[in-house]
């Protein structure tokens, strides 16, 4: 048992080192800092209304979320009618974790969240997803992070609208985020 445990520890350490070494190979020269502006102002990007609790984190290509159903009955997320609002004001359909790398990305199935349960999911604009060849997909970044024009992102707002059926009626949660700062990434040599 000790040898197997040591093997997995060495494997985990190797993966951490590999991933940290590869992070300097990313083409991004800048990173955005985000804050939620609607429905509440929150630098930690958390929201709760007594029916759902949602925490967001945003990377270069996707908006990730952890959603908990706080009610005593199930809720349904209608991904087919959810949308992403870009910084230019354009609205785009989204794909989620179950549809992003499939032909269903244009018509994602709903997600049912039982009472008290939590889901981890993410959304990306369908327009940013390209199938390059069999089993090979690419997600384009949400924003320019490649050159000095990345600083133009600062102060821009974007968001996601998520329709949820709760207590027998549809409610659309409108989450908005602001790019509060743009920072240059430090490269290791």
Q: Which of 6-20, 73-87, 90-104, 164-178 has the lowest mean pLDDT?
A: 6-20
> Would the pTM count as exceeding 0.85?
no
Provide the residue range defining the domain that includes 34: 29-184
Name residues whose C-beta falls within 8 Å of residue 117's C-beta, 6 or more positions apart in sequence: 68, 69
pLDDT of residue 96: 84
Residue 78 resides in a domain: yes
Residue 129 resides in a domain: yes
Residue 36 resides in a domain: yes
Q: Is the pLDDT of residue 16 over 70?
A: no
- In angstroms, the CA 65 to CA 62 distance is 10
Residue 59 resides in a domain: yes
Query: Residue 136's domain is classified under what CATH number?
Result: 2.60.40
- In angstroms, the CA 88 to CA 176 distance is 13
Which tokens belong to 127? 């327009």
Name residues whose C-beta falls within 8 Å of residue 16's C-beta, 6 or more positions apart in sequence: none
Residue 4 resides in a domain: no
Which tokens belong to 152? 């133009």
Q: Is the pLDDT of residue 22 over 50?
A: no
Mean pLDDT of the chain: 86
Residue 146 resides in a domain: yes
Find the mean pLDDT for residues 155-180.
96
Residue 157 resides in a domain: yes
Strands (E), the chain: 30-38, 46-48, 52-58, 63-69, 75-77, 83-85, 91-96, 111-113, 118-125, 129-133, 136-139, 157-166, 169-184
Q: Which of 2-11, 117-126, 139-148, 164-173 has the lowest mean pLDDT?
A: 2-11
Closest by CA to 52, choosing from 33, 77, 71, is 71
Residue 19 resides in a domain: no
Task: Give the Cα-Cα-Cα angle 172, 174, 180 (nearest 5 degrees).
Answer: 170
- In angstroms, the CA 70 to CA 47 distance is 12
């Amino acid at each position: 048992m000790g040898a197997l445990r040591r093997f997995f520890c060495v494997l985990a350490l190797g993966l951490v080192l590999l991933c940290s070494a590869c992070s300097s190979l990313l083409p991004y020269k800048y990173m955005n800092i985000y804050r939620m502006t609607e429905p509440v102002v929150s630098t930690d990007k958390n929201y709760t209304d007594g029916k759902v609790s949602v925490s967001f984190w945003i990377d270069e290509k996707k908006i990730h979320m952890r959603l908990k159903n706080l009610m005593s009955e199930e809720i349904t997320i209608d991904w087919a009618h959810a949308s992403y609002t870009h910084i230019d004001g354009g609205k785009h359909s989204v794909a989620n974790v179950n549809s992003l790398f499939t032909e269903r990305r244009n018509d994602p199935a709903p997600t049912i969240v039982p009472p008290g349960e939590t889901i981890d999911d993410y959304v990306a604009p369908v327009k940013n997803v390209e199938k390059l060849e069999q089993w090979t997909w690419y997600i384009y970044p949400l924003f320019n992070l490649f050159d000095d024009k990345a600083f133009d992102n600062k102060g821009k707002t974007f968001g996601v609208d998520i329709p949820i059926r709760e207590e027998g009626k549809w409610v659309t949660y409108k989450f908005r985020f602001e790019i509060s700062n743009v920072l240059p990434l430090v490269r290791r040599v």
